[in-house]
Each structure stands twice: as structure tokens, then as C-alpha cells.
Amino acid sequence: MIIELTSELEGALIDLPLPPWELDVPSLAKSTRERYRAELTAVPRFAETTTALRRALTGEGGGYAVLRLGRLAKALGGADDERFLRLATAFAAEVAVPFSPFPRWPLWKDIGVKIDKDPGKSSGIGYNAFHMDLVNGTLPPDYTTLLCVRRDPLGGGPSILSDGHAAVSRLSEDCSALLAETAYHYGTFFDLHGVGEEYARFPVLDGPNGFVRFTAKMLERSQLGQAHADAARQLAEELVRGQISFMLEPGDYLIVNQRRFLHGRKALQGGQETVPAADRRLLLQLFLRAPADAGPAV
């Protein structure tokens, strides 16, 4: 769902002096969340906008939203401007608790473009297949979010999303039964906090937690038994069959409910080596944890 801000709301936010955030590692401090909410409560149309945002993320048939903050970002000097990031953080805090699982990144993590990286990685230039973030943590983020600072100047790299549960519903019972077995594994687990323990082997269909615990990368980079690999491959095909695709513009803020949707990115346009590093595509990533008393983000 695309959520536009009214000109009235944009005008009020431009003049709103939110203070710098504080962290209660790994999360945004409760005092900061309370201060931001207090400042924003009286802003015209803010409550209606955040209500629509939460409905898009957790309501029937929902699971993702794109907040169109481009005009606001431009007015404040860009999507990486400190004042703008405070506002984006305040919107995120209305959904769940912002946190960073990476000690080296205090809250927002840069995802730039590195032409010498594995093309399939988030910072690579190739196709980034469907996945959920922190797939091998026992407590993966409830939401993953991406804020566009710069789009690919050559015109590539649209985001892709797919409803994981809808894809599973199109599989056979035998296939689903294999995906529910604790037979899958992917990646390393090092220097992380706020995402539980390492889930060395996990089921793709994570029962009561509601996650479709999947990354297409495990098809090539993990040793799986033939039957389990075939089941995962069928799921990957259904995710592609049901995918939606769109281009994030500067200031667009994508929020994905990881209990419902998986995400990825199509390849960037060829010729990235001709683009100066400072001009290449740049996203900022932030993770969100639903409060324990809020129930699952489903």
C-alpha cells in the first residue's frame, strides 16, 4: 500500500524540531519514543496517517507499506539529513520498537552499492532473491524497513515483494509438510544482539510464530537433502509467481511485515562501474520489534 502525506502534515513536520534519539541498546530508548509521540500527537493528520500505516501492515490482506516522504526529505535537505531521519524514526516507532541487531551500526544501517561484492547480496549489483532478514535467528525482526536515499541513477534495482503465506497456500500438502520440518539452514550468526540465539536448523514454515522462514540463497549455498531442496525451490517459484515490483524513489520508506511478506530486489542496471560511488543507489535499513504486549505482528 502506498501512503501519501497531506500537504498539511508535511508543512507541520518540516517545522517540528524533534530531538536527537537515544538508545537503550539495542533499541530506541523508551524516553525517546515517548518524546517523539508527545511532539507528534498534536500534529494535524499524523494520527490518521499512522493508523493507515498500521492497518496496511497488519490488516487483512496487508503486510507492507510505502510511506511517500520524498517532498518532506527534499524540504529538509535529503533523505539522509539528520532532521529527516528523526521524523522517519518517529514514524517507525508508531509501528513497533526500532532496534539495531548490529553493534557496529547504532540504529540505521547503510546499504550502498559495491561492485566488487557478491552480486546477490544486498550491497551487490545483481538479483537479490526473495528472503527474510535474520532468517537464522530465533527472534528475527518483526519488521524490516528500507529508506531510499538515492535510486540507481541508471534506472535499475526495483524492489520486489511477495506474500509468503499466499505462496505456501499454492503448494501441495506433501511440499508443505517438508517445509515444516527442521531441515533448513543458512548463513552465519556472529556479533548480533536483539535477535535471540542462532537457529542452526529451522523449519521454513515456522508454526505459531507465523514466519515463512525462507531465503532463496540457501538453495545454492546450503547443503540440503534433495526432497527438502525441491520443496524450497517450489516455494521460490511461487514467490516469484506472486511477486509485485516497484521502484523506490528518494524519500520513500518501505516497511515490510516479515511474518507476512518476503522481499528482494531486481538487478541494478549494467554499467555501475561508470557511476561514482557517491552517486550510486543508497538505502538505509532499520529493523523493528513488536512490543511483547502487542501480540504477534500478523
Cα 134 from chain centre: 11
pLDDT in tens, 257-270: 999 999 999 999 99
pLDDT of residue 177: 97
What does pLDDT average to over the chain?
Answer: 94
Place of cell 547504532: 106
242-269: b (≥16 Cβ within 10 Å) or e: ebeeeebebbbbbbbbbbbbbbbbbbbe
pLDDT of residue 291: 79
pLDDT in tens, 194-217: 999 999 999 999 887 889 999 999
Per-residue pLDDT band for 36 (boundaries 50, 70, 90) equals very high
pLDDT in tens, 38-81: 999 989 999 999 999 999 999 998 999 999 999 999 999 999 99
State the residue range of the domain holding 105. 2-290
Q: How many domains does the chain have?
A: 1
Residue 297 lies in a domain: no
Q: What angle do CA 6, 161, 185 make, to 5 degrees?
A: 135
Instruction: Give the CA diameter of the chain.
Output: 59
Q: What angle do CA 97, 246, 150 make, to 5 degrees?
A: 70
Residue 298 lies in a domain: no
Residue 165 lies in a domain: yes
Find the CATH number of the domain harbouring 167.
3.60.130.10
CB 255 within 8 A of CB 159: no
pLDDT of residue 292: 64
Residue 296 lies in a domain: no
Residue 256 lies in a domain: yes
Q: Is 84 helix (H, G, I), strand (E, B) or coil?
A: helix
Q: What is the mean pLDDT of residues 206-232?
A: 92
Count of helix runs (H) and strand runs (E) in the chain: 9, 13
Residue 58 lies in a domain: yes
State residue 184 phi and psi, 5-degree precision.
-110, 150
Q: Which residues contact 146 (CB under 8 A, 6 or more apart)?
A: 111, 159, 248, 253, 254, 256, 283, 284, 285
Residue 93 lies in a domain: yes
Per-residue pLDDT band for 89 (boundaries 50, 70, 90) equals very high
Residue 274 lies in a domain: yes
